[in-house]
Amino acid sequence: MSKLSKRKKRKEPLQNITIDAYAAEGKSVAHLENGKVLFVENVVPGDIVDVFVFKDKTSWAQGKMLKLVTPSPDRISPFCPHFGVCGGCKWQMLPYGKQIAYKQQQVADQLRRIGNVVLPEMESILGSENEQFYRNKLEFTFSTKRYKTNEEIAERTEKFEDDPVLGFHAPGLFDKVVEIQQCYLQPDPSNLLLQTIGQYTRAHNLSYYDFKKQAGWLRNVIIRVATTGEVLVNLVIQHEKKEEREALLQQIWDTVPGITSLNYTINGKVNDTIYDQEVICWKGSKYIEEHLGDLKFKISPKSFFQTNTKQARALYSVVKDFAGFSGTETLYDLYCGTGSIGIFCADSVKQVIGIETVADAIADAGENAALNSIDNCKFYAGDVAEICTDAFFATHGFPDVIITDPPRVGMHPKLVAQLLRIKANKIVYVSCNPATQARDLALLNEYYVIRRIKPVDMFPHTHHIENVVLLELRPEAGEI
């Protein structure tokens, strides 16, 4: 195997590098003759590749594949024509069975290495029922700057002109968008919507947004497709142009069957977030309805909801099983979002107390509980560490079980300290980032022992993985 050059100016590629194993976060590793570990993206164990090294440290380096010399025996042909460019599904070249095996390995490695706590035997990963068309929400972006591949750039002699494009942001580039003709992530009518909007807006010379100039009219289109068959569309524009807007929305409504909620949002801000903007329902209902088993949920354009509906039900079933409810518990659902986990568990506990920082999500949670005639759930907006005071506990009771489902950064240290003070009998920790989960488990280890671990795959063909951990209070931890 090749050695890394110590001369910084020399950037010759490493040739015929054998990829040895999977690491984490979509990267695989090779071990070089000089003892360095080389991390490479978009490769799989067994590949032999030429690699360009762009980061070279004392004991490790990072590079990108320049050429696939010999493919791994595990490699298969990707099913999407945009694979390798759009960056959404980075593992389509791996059979799904291999994907989830590597994800289980990633969880185990990170819990052991970062957490450094005693672990029980991990339960087998729960794979996704659907490997394609599993997302209920997608957001496509309008841009004047189409992403060009290296091959396109090499073949072109004259300067590229602005090229209006509708698709996904190119990986790592805020102003370049990959044009998408067909996407395998979301069920119909998502692709028909994409084609209809793209064809109409180009034919009528409607201006696309320029991220650098902060000019242009069309910004985003958000599509939600529920398992009930209901479809919500939200067109985001930079400013009002009533005649053009009306004509475009009418074209969408007339051309694409099955839309039950058609909306638009005027966003004149620099950033794309619409959570502080008004969403106007142009035609149909203001929301669509989604089902998790027998439970119903209202999904509005700004609602938080698990992106893979069918697998969300499977994930929540794991959470419920881990908690082992008897029917008498007070359950605290932290980072509760729109209340879906707490509502899912409500029939098995005495009461549910949901806490979430986003006030709009708490409002949705209350509506969802009412929609299902559930009266033992109460939801509160605010910071968990600030809400959970002695006075709050005196009113609502101490939790017997806590479910926590934080964002990728994990739990704030103040919240971990609060959990150690509360000393609930059980904590079910749901995480979308095993690395930060492992860090938090090490802190909770002071009073808690880990009893069960089970990864759940929500996003096939990506490196993302959910992990569920059951912690039980140590007998010697005492009571609050």
* C-alpha pair distances (Å), 465 with each of 100, 299, 336: 9, 24, 19
Q: pLDDT of 395-407, one tens digit each?
A: 999 999 999 999 9
pLDDT at 7: 46
| Whether 388 is catalytic | no
Q: Are 143 and 210 in contact (CB under 8 A)?
A: yes
Residues 144 and 209 sit within 8 Å (Cβ to Cβ): yes
* pLDDT at residue 10 in the model: 57
Catalytic residue among 89, 183, 377, 432: 432
**pLDDT reported for residue 480:** 46
Assess contact for 30 and 1: CB atoms under 8 A. yes
| Among candidate residues 389, 309, 391, the one with its CA nearest the CA of residue 344 | 309
Entry pTM: 0.91
Strand partners, 93: none
In the prediction, which pLDDT does 315 show? 97
pLDDT tens for the 480 residues of the chain, in order: 455 544 445 578 899 999 999 988 888 999 998 889 999 988 999 999 999 999 988 899 999 999 999 999 999 999 999 998 888 898 999 999 999 999 999 999 999 999 999 999 999 999 999 999 999 999 999 999 988 876 776 666 566 667 899 999 988 888 889 999 999 999 999 999 999 999 999 999 999 999 889 999 999 999 999 999 999 999 999 999 999 999 999 999 999 999 999 999 999 999 999 989 999 999 999 999 999 999 999 999 988 899 999 999 999 999 999 999 999 999 999 999 999 999 999 999 999 999 998 888 899 999 999 999 999 999 999 988 788 888 888 899 999 999 999 999 999 998 999 899 999 999 999 999 999 999 999 999 999 999 999 999 999 999 999 999 999 999 887 654
**Which two tokens mark 251?**
């074209």
In this predicted structure, what is the pLDDT of residue 393? 86
Torsion of CA 412, 396, 322, 339, to 10 degrees: -70
Q: What are the structural domains, with CATH classification, of the chain?
A: 14-70 (2.40.50.140), 98-130+308-477 (3.40.50.150), 137-296 (2.40.50.1070)
Q: Is the dihedral of CA 37, 39, 44, 49 positive or negative?
A: negative
CA torsion angle 148 151 156 159 (round to 10): 30
What is the DSSP pairing of strand 48-56 with strand 14-18?
antiparallel
Q: With beta carbons less than 8 A apart as the criterion, state whether 81 and 181 touch.
A: yes
The enclosing H or E element of 396 equals helix 390-396
Q: What is the pLDDT of residues 112-167, one digit of tens each?
A: 999 999 999 999 999 999 999 999 999 999 999 988 876 776 666 566 667 899 99
Structure tokens at 242: 């009533």
SS3 category, 299:
strand
pLDDT number for residue 33? 84
Decide if 49 contacts 27 (C-beta within 8 A).
Answer: no
Buried b / exposed e across 241-267, counting CB within 10 Å, b at 16+?
beebbeebbebbeebbeebbbbbbbbb
